[in-house]
Amino acid sequence: MSHRSRKHKKRFACGHRGYGRYCHCCAERVARKQKRFSQRRQEREQWQALFAGDAIELSHLPKSIVKKARNVLSALQQGTHYWQMSGKRLEMMRDVIRIPVTRRYRLLCQDDGDQIVPIKVISHEDYNPLTRGPKRFLSRLLSRKP
Ligand SMILES: [Zn+2]
């Protein structure tokens, strides 16, 4: 048989060698990339959907802080007392309680008499100067916007 009738390896534009009308090596790479991309999109959507279940707005916070804040929120919900989580009342506003989330972040809550209501998570840096300021700054801090 003539040499020409046999399938032969050719060099594609990408530089790979192979059989067929297109480079299977590159096609597989593209398929893997698309799969990774859609997996990440799915994970992102699942992560975004979780925020709807939170008692307070957490979506503006870094992921690791969100996870720890959720632990604190669910502990509160399950009846753990704030002092068991090193929470303290503010000296200037005794009905306001701060609970450490991480070294940098605090969960602010309000004691409405019957229960401890979560208000927002803020960073230590945002919070510290305000506790030394006039009471109206604290009130602004307690507004329920993130
Ligand atoms: Zn290729």
User: What separation in Å is there between the alpha carbon of 24 and the centre of ligand 1?
Assistant: 7
- pLDDT tens-digit profile of 31-72? 999 999 999 999 999 999 999 999 999 999 999 999 999 999
Domain that holds residue 66: 54-141
Contact (Cβ atoms closer than 8 angstroms) between residue 72 and residue 101: yes
Total of domains in the chain: 2
pTM: 0.74
User: What separation in Å is there between the alpha carbon of 26 and the centre of ligand 1?
Assistant: 4
1 part of a folded domain: no
Cα–Cα nearest to 109, from 82, 140, 78, 70: 82
Q: Please list all protein residues whose beta carbon sits less than 5 angstroms from ligand 1, which is an ion.
A: 14, 16, 23, 25-26
Instruction: Give yes or no: residues 31 and 69 share one domain.
Output: no
User: What separation in Å is there between the alpha carbon of 2 and the centre of ligand 1?
Assistant: 28
- pLDDT tens-digit profile of 75-114? 999 999 999 999 999 888 888 999 999 999 999 999 999 8
